[in-house]
Amino acid sequence: MQYDIDFLIIGSGIAGLSFALKVADAGRVAIVTKKEAVETSTNYAQGGIASVLGRYDSFDLHVQDTLAAGDGLCRQNVVEMVIRDGPSRIRELMDWGVAFTRRSADNDELDLVLEGGHSQKRIAHAGDFTGRVIEQALLDQARRNPHIGFFENHIAVDLITYSMRMKRGTVTAAHEDVCCGAYVLDTGNGEVHTFRAKITVLATGGTGKVYLYTSNPDIATGDGIAMAYRAGALVGNLEFVQFHPTCLYHPEAKNFLISEAVRGAGGILIDARGRRFMEDYDSKKDLACRDVVARAIDNELKKSGDDSVFLDITHKDSDIVQARFPNIYEKCLSLGIDITKEPIPVVPAAHYMCGGVLVDIDGRSDVERLYAIGETACTGLHGANRLASNSLLEAVVYAHRAATHAKAHLEKKTLDFCPEVPPWDPMGTTDSDEAIVVSHNWDEIRRLMWNYVGIVRSNKRLLRAKNRIEMIEEEIHQYYWNFKVTPDLIELRNIAVVAHLIIQSASLRKESRGLHYNLQYPNKDDRHWLKDTILRRPFVG
């Protein structure tokens, strides 16, 4: 089947849905999403969204905090733009029905809270269900809109790209430079459809599933980054993987995060013997930036051999803790941990990808008609490290920028430039009876990334990881073309590409900065490395 539309949006998190709502008055919109629409990282965000909304706060302070976290690699103009646009985007979320928590029932002011790395209380939240409340409000709006069509349980396989320069004869060999849609697998019936679109938007979220331990849901396999790279787009800064310091450590808890806001509310990190340790690492102690805290916990665990450290909030009033963290309280209680009476066992886990598809200030990749927004993009806001709660903000600001730009240029675009999109070639039609190969490779990639390309890296570990991933990629390559595509195989191919790109980027950066730490180069080297790590697929003619 072939669909011809104006806007193809891949992903139904905060970025994809906000973009859809903004362009729906200008054309037909299709949202393709690989599971149920609600299954997104957005839906699991707890802490909140950062913006300058408080009386004592200022744009300058938020800019300074963001630049300090980014450790020299933020793009100043992007930081200024995102932070100044923040309050308007928060008001828009509220107009769409997002009910942020107020200071009290008879007070209209938002209840702004503090998080690690912020110098002011500026996190707007909805209890500790912020993401769920945002996702639900945006989904409600989008489902009511007659111009927006949802394709749930549809997974994008690859982008459809052309080289206009080659077509025009201006060059003989070039990367593809125009995108006109994507091939998409309907996971219900196994058919691959062609979506031709004037504008294609990658809003595919993060890459947490590349690592063994992650706070991310299963959808976070870096598909957008892998597809864009295969299509010849530039990708950048993929070595900067943020590890959240405090994921719940419990055999029955899959990917459950203990929000940064718990430390913001006075939570203290202790080891198994009850000793506070953050004062050994940073003057901000438990409120230090995420990377500092994650590395400190990693170091404590390596020294002690313990399975976890603990986050203690028992000294705070029990009613206040329950009211502020209802989700965390209930979840922990269901596992036999009463957080008002006992410390919570926690470990670090892969949480956020600061790098991604390289985009300009309007969310455009360097492939024409292809935008990337939300966690899948590298905008320059986060630099070498993301400040807590700046990602939801970045997603809404860039959805707005990209939608405004795309709408303004839609008139001039037609689908005539790519008249003959060939239907998907199913190639090897045999159903795979070797599913074990897929699950084995999944497991091996996630484990090798955790062990060799995790919080603390070294040249030797990176080299080992590179050798292994090249062998695995070769195996996947053979498997991929011999069997029918399945969601597992598509995701496996993507995590392998993203893992390889992270290893390549980490190997190139011969210094330690922000989230990237290499034992052989423990210091920052501004003279040589005050720059992005940018990669592009080598051209195969």
Ligand X SMILES: Cc1cc2nc3c(=O)[nH]c(=O)nc-3n(C[C@H](O)[C@H](O)[C@H](O)COP(=O)(O)OP(=O)(O)OC[C@H]3O[C@@H](n4cnc5c(N)ncnc54)[C@H](O)[C@@H]3O)c2cc1C
Residues that bind ligand X (CB under 6 A): 10-16, 32-35, 39-42, 44-49, 130-131, 155-156, 203-206, 215-216, 219, 223, 257, 352, 374-376, 389, 391-392, 395
Longest Cα separation, the chain: 72
Contact 14, 135 (CB under 8 A): yes
CA dist list (Å): 384 to 333, 399, 431, 518:
36, 22, 43, 14
- DSSP-assigned beta bridge partners for residue 150: 31
Nearer to ligand X, 334 or 414 (CB): 334
Which DSSP letter does residue 236 get?
E
Q: How far is the CB of 524 from ligand X (least distance, A)?
A: 26
Q: How far is the CB of 311 from ligand X (least distance, A)?
A: 15
290 among known catalytic residues: yes
Contact 447, 191 (CB under 8 A): no
Residue 422, C-beta contacts closer than 8 angstroms, at least 6 positions apart: none
Nearer to ligand X, 232 or 374 (CB): 374
For residue 212, what are its two tokens? 């063994």
How would DSSP label each residue in 4-70? EEEEEEE--SHHHHHHHHHHTTTS-EEEEESS-TT-SSGGG--S-EE---STT--HHHHHHHHHHHH
For residue 432, what are its two tokens? 């795979």
Chain centroid, CA 3 distance in Å: 28
Nearer to ligand X, 218 or 444 (CB): 218
**CA–CA gap between residue 257 and residue 234 (Å, rounded):** 32
Contact 394, 82 (CB under 8 A): yes
Nearer to ligand X, 176 or 223 (CB): 223
For residue 281, what are its two tokens? 């690492």
Angle, alpha carbons 197-203-209 (nearest 5°): 130
Contact 132, 43 (CB under 8 A): yes
Q: How far is the CB of 164 from ligand X (least distance, A)?
A: 25
Angle, alpha carbons 225-253-125 (nearest 5°): 65
Nearer to ligand X, 73 or 203 (CB): 203
122, 290, 324, 401: the catalytic one is 290
**CA–CA gap between residue 473 and residue 89 (Å, rounded):** 41
Nearer to ligand X, 314 or 327 (CB): 327
Nearer to ligand X, 290 or 295 (CB): 290
Nearer to ligand X, 93 or 462 (CB): 93
The residue length of the chain stands at: 541
Please state, as a whole number, how many other Cβ atoms lie within 10 Å of the Cβ of residue 92.
15
Nearer to ligand X, 49 or 309 (CB): 49
Helix-helix angle 487-508:459-482, to 10 degrees: 150
Q: Which amino acid is at 192?
A: V
The burial of 361, by beta-carbon neighbours within 10 Å (0-12 exposed, 13-18 middle, 19 or more buried), is given as middle
* DSSP 3-state of 158: strand
User: Which residue numbers are catalytic?
Assistant: 290
